[in-house]
Structure 1
Amino acid sequence: MTKENLNRKVEVRFSLSDFQRLKSLSKLANMSISRYVRTACFNKKIDAKFMQEERVFITRIFNIGNNLNQIARVMNAQQKNDELLLRLRITLDHLDNFIDKMLRNDS
């Protein structure tokens, strides 16, 4: 069995306290820091924080928030205009329905 060359390098930054902790842990494991980090990195399963569908949902919610901010900006900048208020209410109803539909599909 041939040993694979370790010729790729990745730079990682640590705070002083984290580095000291890493150094101590690698010493306790009787490993170099590099070997300890490789072992810890590849022997642990890391679950994704969000699934793809959740990321899409969150992005859409952020977009809705941006739309609401734009609506508020328009309402604050303009004098009362009945047609504009009606359009804004319709838009808010659409956004509300969209959020309800997304939440129902999520559960």
Structure 2
Amino acid sequence: MNHRKFPHKVSVRFSDSEKEKLELNASLAGLKVSAYIRHIMSNARPPIHKFDQSLVVQVVKIGNNLNQIAKHVNIGKAIDGVVLRQIIDVNKKLDDLIR
């Protein structure tokens, strides 16, 4: 086995049922447990913490506002008071998120 290809070792503790499930899943995938874990790590999306989910929702809303502003400007409309208020609102929301 070539240890130079994977020079870092990580130890993890599992319950009996978790270990059995891990070994079964690796076997069903035709992989050794270590290869299976590497595959899962490189192909899985990590769970998003609930705090992060609310942050993502806020950022999506800000993105939608920015898209509306960009559409307004791209169709040749001048930046009027309504659009300026949206820009100020987006800026405030971003400042709030940063804090």
TM-score, L = length of structure 2? 0.49
Q: TM-score, normalised by structure 1?
A: 0.46
Structure exhibiting the larger radius of gyration computed from Cα positions: 1
